Amino acid sequence: MRLRRKLHRLNRARAAAALLVALALTGCLVASAVTTVVLLPVKAVGAGIDAIVTTDAEADEKRGREAREAEEKSEKARKKAAKADAKAAKDAAKASAPS
C-alpha cells in the first residue's frame, strides 16, 4: 500500500514536471511569435527606407560606373575614328598611286 502511494505521488510529480516543461516551452514559442509579430513592421519600414535612400557608397559606385562607361564609350569612338582615318589614308594612297 505504501509503495502504491509512493508511485502515485511520483507519477503526480512527473506529470506536474511534464506540465511545467510543456508550459515553459509553450511560453517560449509564444514569446518567439510575439517577437516576430512585433518586429515585422519595423523590418518592413527598414527595408522600405533602404530601398528609397541611397548611401554614399552606392552613390560613389554609381558615379564610378558612369565614369567608366563614359571612358569606354569615348575609347570606342576614338578607335573607330582611327580606323576610319587609316582606311581613308589607305584609299587616298591607292587613288594617288600610278596605275
Query: In this structure, are 1 and 46 located in the same domain?
Result: yes
Query: In this structure, are 4 and 32 located in the same domain?
Result: yes
Query: In this structure, are 67 and 98 located in the same domain?
Result: yes
- pTM here? 0.44
Locate cell 519600414: which residue? 45
Summarize pLDDT for 27-84 with one digit per residue, the tens.
677 777 778 878 888 888 888 888 888 888 888 999 999 999 999 999 999 999 999 9
Does residue 17 belong to any structural domain of this protein?
yes
Show which of 50, 73, 88 is a domain's final residue: 50
Backbone region of residue 98 per phi and psi (left: phi > 0; alpha: psi in -120 to 50; beta: other values): beta
Query: In this structure, are 35 and 68 located in the same domain?
Result: no
Query: In this structure, are 69 and 46 located in the same domain?
Result: no
Q: Which domain holds residue 39?
A: 1-50
Summarize pLDDT for 12-35 with one digit per residue, the tens.
777 777 766 766 667 677 777 778
- Tally of domains in the chain: 2
DSSP state of 53: P
